[in-house]
Amino acid sequence: MHAKIPATIVTGFLGAGKTTLIRHMLENAGGRHIALIINEFGDLGVDGGILKGCGIEACSDDDVVELSNGCICCTVADDFIPTMEALLARDTPPDHIVIETSGLALPQPLVRAFNWPGLKTRVTVDGVITVLDGPAVAAGTFAADVAAVDAQRAADDGLDHETPLSELYADQVACADMIVVNKSDLLGDGTAPLVDRLRGEARAGVQVVPAAMGALPVDVLLGRGQGAEDDIAARHEVHHHHHHHDDDDDHDDDHHHHDHGHDAFESFVVEAPEVTDPAAFAARISEVIRRHGILRLKGFASVVGKPMRLTVQAVGPRVDHYFDRALGGDARGTRLVVIGQAGLDRAAITADLVAQPAAA
C-alpha cells in the first residue's frame, strides 16, 4: 500500500496571517508538489485570488481548490470530503495537501473527517497549525468579555458559552500541534512574554513559535507526522460546555452546526467605482472600520489610469494596500468583502466606502 499523503491544516482567526504563511511556504517548498484547499468566509475568493497565479512553481492554479460554501467545518461531508477524494483520484496526486480554513472555522470537525472510511487509508493529518494575530491576542481581543458574557447569560438561560470570538480562539488553540504567534514585527518586545504565556497554556508537546509574515522554515511546518486524526480526543472542543465534553468521536457534528458561533458573524460584498487615490482610500477604509467595528475587510480594486490590480487588506483598523499584478482581464472597479459580528449596518458601511473624495 502507498504511504498516506500528509495534509496540514492551517487555521486561525480572520486576518491572523494564514494566507501569508501559506504563500511563504509555497515560495520555499523545495520541490514538493503541494495542493491547496482554501476555505474562505465571504464570497469574493480573495485568498484564492492572492495564491492563484502567484507564479509559484510548487503549486499551479489547478492545485488550488476553493471551497466557498460557508465554513469548512459545517460542510465537511458535502464539500471537503468530495474535494479530497477528487484530489486523491488525480493521475499525479500531490505530495502534500495544505488546507486553509476560514478564520471562523472550528478545526476539530475537519480533523475528525480524516477518520471517514474514504480518507482514512489514504491521507493523514500531518499537523494542525494555528496562526495567531500576536498583537490582537496580546491586546486581549479574544478574551471573553466577562460583562458581555454575563449579560448574554442573563438574557438567555440556555446559553452557557463564552463570546463567539473567545470560543473560536479557544477551539483553534486547543486543536493546534503548532501555534504560530504571527505579526511579531508589530509586537516587538511583547513577543517573548506572549510566547511564554501561550506555551504555558498549550497542550503538552505543542510547539509555540513567533513569526513575522508567517516566515517559518518549511521543514518546521510540513512533515510533522502528527496523525492528528488519531488523537482527536486530546484536541478538546472547549465551547458548548453543555455538551458535557463528549469526545466520543462519533462523526456526528450536527449539534455544532445549529448553534455554534457562525451565526454571530456576517459578511457582504461592497462594489464601488475605481479608486482615485490609494492612500486616501486606505485612510477612508481605516476610518470606516473604526466607525462600524468591522473585523476584517479585503478585496481588489483598480486605480484610475493604472494597469495594476490594487489589493486591499485590513485587519481591524490596520490597512495594507499594494499593487500585486496586472489587472489583465479583470473588470475595473472595486470589490471588497466586509466581515464583522452580526448586525453590521450594511447600507451605511457601503455608503461610507463608496463615497470617495473627488480626485485631487
Ligand X SMILES: Nc1nc2c(ncn2[C@@H]2O[C@H](COP(=O)(O)OP(=O)(O)OP(=O)(O)O)[C@@H](O)[C@H]2O)c(=O)[nH]1
Residue ranges that bind ligand X, judged by CB under 6 A: 12, 14-20, 40, 47, 103, 182-183, 185-186, 212-214, 296, 313, 315, 320
Q: Are 340 and 265 in contact (CB under 8 A)?
A: yes
The label of the residue with cell 492545485 reads 63
Minimum Å gap between C-beta 191 and ligand X is 11
Minimum Å gap between C-beta 160 and ligand X is 27
Minimum Å gap between C-beta 218 and ligand X is 17
Name the 3-class secondary structure at 125.
strand
Largest CA distance in the chain: 67
If the CB atoms of residues 84 and 129 are measured against ligand X, the closer one turns out to be: 129
Minimum Å gap between C-beta 303 and ligand X is 18
Q: Are 101 and 73 in contact (CB under 8 A)?
A: yes
If the CB atoms of residues 152 and 341 are measured against ligand X, the closer one turns out to be: 341
What residues form DSSP beta bridges with 315? 296, 318
Minimum Å gap between C-beta 158 and ligand X is 30
Minimum Å gap between C-beta 201 and ligand X is 21
If the CB atoms of residues 40 and 177 are measured against ligand X, the closer one turns out to be: 40
If the CB atoms of residues 20 and 124 are measured against ligand X, the closer one turns out to be: 20
Residue 314 to residue 289: CA distance in whole angstroms: 9
Residue 268 to residue 84: CA distance in whole angstroms: 28
Of 81, 99, 115, nearest in space to 18 by CA: 99
If the CB atoms of residues 167 and 229 are measured against ligand X, the closer one turns out to be: 167
With the C-alpha atoms ordered 59, 62, 63, 69, is the resulting torsion angle positive or negative? positive
DSSP character for 303? B
If the CB atoms of residues 16 and 123 are measured against ligand X, the closer one turns out to be: 16
Name the 3-class secondary structure at 7.
strand
Residue 275 to residue 68: CA distance in whole angstroms: 27
